[in-house]
A and B are shown apart, each in its own frame.
Chain A
Amino acid sequence: MKLPAKISRAYLSSCSYFYNKYHKRLRYTVVLLLCVLICSCLCSCWSQREINSLAIVVGTGLDVGDQPDTLKLTVQIVKASEIGTNSSNDGNKSEGKAYINISNTDKSVLSAVRGISHIQNRRPYFSHNNILVFSDDLAKLDIKEGLDAFTRDYEARMNVHILISRGMASEILNEDASLEKTPALHIAGMMKDQNANPETAIVTVRDFLIATLSESTAPVAPMVELYESEGKKYAKLEGTAVFKQEKMIGELDKTQTRGLLWVNDKARSGEITVDTQWGQVVIEFFHSSSSLKPVKTEDGNIQMQLTVRMDGIVESNETTKDMSNLENVEMLKKEMDKVIHSEIEGALAKARSFSADIFGFGDAIRREYPQDWEVMKKNWDKAFPEIELNSHVDVELRSTGGLTKPVVPGGAK
């Protein structure tokens, strides 16, 4: 231990000699060097992203390419300069679009994204992407590649909405959005509004991946299509796509989607139209929640037990009867019960016909009865259509809104 000690002492004493002699000068030099160094960090030579060199992507579409084994990627990029202008005053409405769509076809998502550099001078920046639209043709083949790429990439976020388009995804991104300046923001805004009307499943990349990773659950995604009105094309949310093993295998319509959302505890608020013997009564429901539990019957089979709870108020009464009458309130509750039951049955029948566990029965069983699940999962595809669902609806009608009695012609005495 003597030698290293000697060497280090010599080293130290020489250091301290210089340190003492040039103390002040050294100090200033070091401080100066540090300042220069810190400045060089601030200018961020690497990974530098200036806003004027970015193409901010707000929506992405994926289609089947025209060559075999290719993808057609469409990115919607906002034109920041057009966003602020009021196009109706400019008089050049047709040119004043606040976005451009760039399409590129290549073997993979990333090569298509990079290929955009041959077409545009700005690089797509995906952090502000709102929606990811897959065309149904692509979805029927495989959506794995698009999903993986859009989750793995560090710019992409997991709260992007997934949609499946009837027809080309690039066409959807080209719709004539009327209130918003870009179709992608229009569709993303619609997705946010679906909480008030449970006829569309709201599915983010995270939700879709969680369902995909599950051993049993069949992922679902909302569908979007175009409709024409006065020569213009508008996007419209309609129905739900059902997947199995990352391939689209079928669709649910509006009512079946509602049935699905009742079971999945995704229906929060909305309206239920009840046909009474005197006419229609519309009930608005809110604070709705549901819980799905597997229960074992006495003979060892597993059944699903669903309880739906909600508060409701009478929103409109098209009959001449007084719905604040307690007897009628009970009658309305029963009718609501019937409507919800029939919606759930509709969705269940459709899911059974696909043998696709869109409700997550398998996961619920795995959580409650892990041992039984180990046996059941082996032929889940056959077992799922056999599973019984007992649903129980618990409605509380809170009030009749602003009116207690109906508006009856000649009702004033």
Chain B
Amino acid sequence: MNIEKESISSKDLMFAVFCFMQATVLRSGYIISITRQDSWAMAISGLLFSLPLVAIYAKLLKRFPGKNLFEINDITFGSVLGKIVSVLYLFFFVSLAALNTRDLGNFVVDFMMPETPIAAVFFVFLIGCVYGIRKGINNLIHLSTMLSIIIIAAVVINFILVLNNVYPGFLKPFFQLEPIKYVQATVSVVALPMGEIIVFMMLIPMLSKNAKAAKSFSLGLIISAILMIGVIIRDIITLGPLVPIVSLPSFESVRYISISGVFTRLESIYAIVLILLFLFKISILLYAFVLGLTHVLGMKSSDIESKTNESGQLQSQRKYTPLLLVSAIFVFFYSLIIFESVMENIDWGATAAPFFSLTFELLLPVISLLTAWLRRLGKKQEVKA
């Protein structure tokens, strides 16, 4: 394992955040089914409401520079309560990993290989994730720049090619739905793709010295939101009233491309991009889970001093290998049993998922920040009490 500490720059982190979110963005059906032709605006409102989340994470990181989420938990809540909070986060990470594995599996099985058992798909993709993590998560993050270029190029090219089959009038009328729908969709956008960047709080110790995590988070979110607007507008002007009823709007609108019989059947590009993105996302989530598990099980010194921590970090990187396989197997079975059907998955995404996610993305960080503030922990000069 070629883990180097402090090797991730601001730019890498920004693109990693971007890639991490695009997997969900390209499956934007769940937002479009709520706000229909106004969904593109939800990317903007979602971004606006995600920036406070980033501000909370930034505050935490400023108080405890160079610490990851679980170390912060240990400091703020003490070793026992901190471990309990960390276990809650672990549950969140592994659930997200399983949910995304499930999404990927459903996509492959529904649209490409309908007779393949979904377990076979999970198995093959999780092997890929495990391999990627063993080769070093920071290599994967370095790759995200390239991956981002591929995604942006694919979306832009698809947008241009579908232009002769679109009708911009489908975007009208603007903002005629009940206001509650916009709130609902905004909460979904904040909770589902955008707030999930809390996972990157686990990677903070790997950042290079001069990297600014908060800036990368917000820039990554902004690029994602821009691309999300593009993708949603493309879907709406191509499919119009069909958008809320098809299961994968992006897939269907890319499928519609047919230029003089030459540029046709481009959905394979979309499928490849989506699979790459999901692999990236699952790898990050799985890594966060394994790293957290290593920490919670005390396989690494949880001293507050950064010197021992540095060596502890290196040790843990070497040591978590067996846990990685165990965790991957756990995710495999978890994603098998998590949903019986796509319908259940959609229902979860529309009703419970935002609240489930926001508990971990908003509530727990706010509690940590408040506790830290009340207990006057962290960097002295930052405490303005």
Residue positions of A touching B, CB distance < 8 A: 1, 4-5, 8-9, 11-12, 15-16, 19, 34, 37, 41, 46-47, 154, 157-159, 206, 209-210, 213-214, 363-364, 366-368, 370
By the criterion CB–CB under 8 Å, are B113 and A368 in contact? no
CB distance from B235 to the nearest CB of A (A): 12
Instruction: State in angstroms the CA–CA spacing of A375 and B114 once bound together.
Output: 46
The answer, among B114, B245, B258, B298, for a CB contact under 8 Å with A154, is B114
> A173 to B299, alpha carbons, bound, how many Å?
71
Contact bitstring B314-331, A, C-beta under 8 A = 1, else 0: 000001011000000000
B residues less than 8 Å from A1 (CB atoms): 79-80, 83, 298
Q: What's the minimum C-beta distance from A124 to chain B, rounded to whole angstroms?
A: 15
Contact B173 A368, beta carbon cutoff 8 Å: yes
Contact A47 B116 (CB under 8 A): yes
Within B253-305, the residues touching A (CB, 8 Å) are: 255-256, 258, 296-299
A12 x B322 contact (CB < 8 A): yes
Which of A8, A15, A41, A159 is within 8 Å of B298, CB to CB? A8
Choose from A8, A11, A19, A158 the contact partner of B252 (Cβ within 8 Å): A158
B241 proximity list for chain A (CB < 8 A): 210, 213-214
Given A37-B127, A206-B242, A210-B242, does the pair A47, B173 have CB atoms closer than 8 Å?
A: no
With both beta carbons as reference points, the residue of chain B lying nearest to A157 in the complex is identified as: B255
Q: Is the CB of B115 within 8 A of A46?
A: yes
Report the Cα distance A158→B254, complex, angstroms: 11
**Which residues of chain A are within 8 angstroms of B255 by Cβ–Cβ distance?**
157-159
- B239 adjacent to chain A (CB < 8 Å): yes
Dominant SS among interface residues on chain A: helix
Asked if B179 CB lies within 8 Å of chain A CBs, one says no
B68-87 CB mask vs A (1 if < 8 Å, else 0) is 00000000000110010000
B240: Cβ under 8 A from any A Cβ: yes
Given contacts A11-B322, A15-B322, A366-B173, 7 further A-B contacts (CB under 8 A): A47-B112, A154-B111, A158-B255, A206-B239, A210-B239, A213-B241, A214-B241
A218 to B237, CA, bound (A): 20
Query: In the complex, which residues of chain A have a beta carbon less than 8 angstroms from the beta carbon of B374?
Result: none
Contact B256 A159 (CB under 8 A): yes
Q: Is the CB of A209 within 8 A of B319?
A: no
What separation, in Å, do the CA atoms of A210 and B258 have in the docked complex?
A: 18
A41 touches B299 (CB 8 A): no
A163 to B238, CA, bound (A): 21
Bound form: Cα–Cα A341–B239 in Å: 31
Q: How far is the CB of A302 from chain B (nearest CB, A)?
A: 14
User: Which one of A12, A213, A363, A366 contacts B319 once the chains associate, using CB atoms below 8 Å?
Assistant: A12
- On chain A, the residues within 8 Å of B117 by CB distance are 46
Residues of A within 8 A of B115 (CB): 46-47
Residue B120 lies at the interface, judged by CB distance under 8 Å to chain A:
yes
Beyond A15-B322, A46-B113, A368-B172, whether A210 also contacts B240 by CB under 8 A is yes
For the complex, is B176 an interface residue (Cβ under 8 Å from A)?
A: yes
Give which listed residue, B120, B124, B297, contacts A5 with CB less than 8 A. Answer: B297
B242–A12 touching, CB < 8 Å: no
Beta-carbon nearest neighbor of B258 in chain A: A159
Bound form: Cα–Cα A46–B123 in Å: 14
Whether B299 contacts A47 by the Cβ 8 Å rule is: no
Query: How far apart are the CA atoms of A235 and B191 in the complex, in Å?
Result: 56
B183 CB to closest chain A CB (Å) equals 20
Which single member of B83, B173, B258, B297 contacts A8 (CB below 8 Å)? B297
**CA A321 to CA B115, docked complex, whole Å:** 71
Pick the most buried of B111, B124, B165, B297: most chain A CB atoms within 10 A of its CB: B297
A213-B245 in contact (CB<8A): yes
Chain B interface bracket (under 10, 10 to 19, 20 to 34, 35 or more) = 35 or more
User: Could you tell me the distance between the alpha carbons of A370 and B176 in the complex, rounded to whole angstroms?
Assistant: 7
The 5 A-B residue pairs with the shortest CB-CB distance in the complex, in nearest-first order: A5-B298, A367-B172, A47-B113, A46-B116, A8-B297
Give the chain A neighbours of B173 by CB distance below 8 A: 366-368, 370
How many angstroms between the C-alpha atoms of A1 and B299 in the bound complex? 11
Output the least CB separation between A6 and chain B (Å). Answer: 9
Closest B residue by C-beta to A128: B265
Cα of A366 to Cα of B115 in the assembled complex, Å: 43
B110 at the interface (CB under 8 A from A): yes
- B294 nearest in chain A by CB position: A8
Alpha-carbon distance A8/B322, docked complex (angstroms): 11
A349 and B383 CA atoms in complex are apart in Å by: 77
C-alpha gap A235/B363 in the complex (Å): 67
Task: Name the residue on A nearest B121 (C-beta).
Answer: A46
B93-128 interface bits toward A, Cβ cutoff 8 Å, 1 = contact, 0 = none: 000000000000000001111111100100010010
Tell me the bound Cα distance from A324 to B172 in angstroms.
Answer: 44
Determine if A213 and B116 form an interchain contact, defined as CB atoms under 8 angstroms apart: no
Q: How far is the CA of A154 from the CA of B111 in the complex (A)?
A: 6
Residues of A within 8 A of B322 (CB): 11-12, 15, 19
Q: Give 16 CB contacts A-B under 8 Å.
A: A1-B79, A5-B297, A5-B299, A9-B299, A12-B299, A12-B319, A12-B322, A16-B319, A46-B117, A154-B110, A159-B255, A159-B258, A210-B241, A213-B241, A367-B173, A368-B172
In chain A, what residue has the closest Cβ to B82?
A: A1
CA distance A159 to B265 in the complex (A): 11
Chain B nearest CB from A227 CB (Å) reads: 28
Measured CB to CB, the closest approach of chain B to A8, in angstroms, equals 4
Q: Determine the distance from Cα of A163 to Cα of B79 in the docked complex, in whole angstroms.
A: 71
- Per the bound structure, the CA–CA distance linking A377 and B299 in Å amounts to 67
Task: Report the nearest A residue to B260, measured CB to CB.
Answer: A192
Chain B nearest CB from A289 CB (Å) reads 13
Distance, CA A17 to CA B151, complexed state (A): 43
**Alpha-carbon gap, A209 to B297, bound state (A):** 56
Bound-state Cα–Cα, A47 to B120, Å: 12
Residues from chain B with Cβ under 8 Å of A8 in the complex? 297-299
Shortest A318–chain B CB gap in Å is 35
**Bound state CA distance, A41 and B122, in angstroms?**
12
Q: Contact flags (1/0) for B167-208 with A, using CB distance below 8 Å?
A: 001001100100000000000000000000000000000000
Measured between alpha carbons, how far is A360 from B111 in the docked complex, in Å? 33
Least CB separation from A215: chain B residue = B241
Kindly provide the distance from the CB of B56 to the nearest chain A CB, expressed in whole angstroms.
27
Q: A213 — which chain B residues lie within 8 A by C-beta? A: 240-242, 245
Report the bound CA distance from A210 to B243 in whole Å: 10
A364–B170 alpha-carbon span in the complex (Å): 10
- Bound together, the chains give a CA A15 to CA B319 distance in angstroms of 10
Cα distance A214–B245 in the bound complex, in angstroms: 13
Residues of B within 8 A of A363 (CB): 169
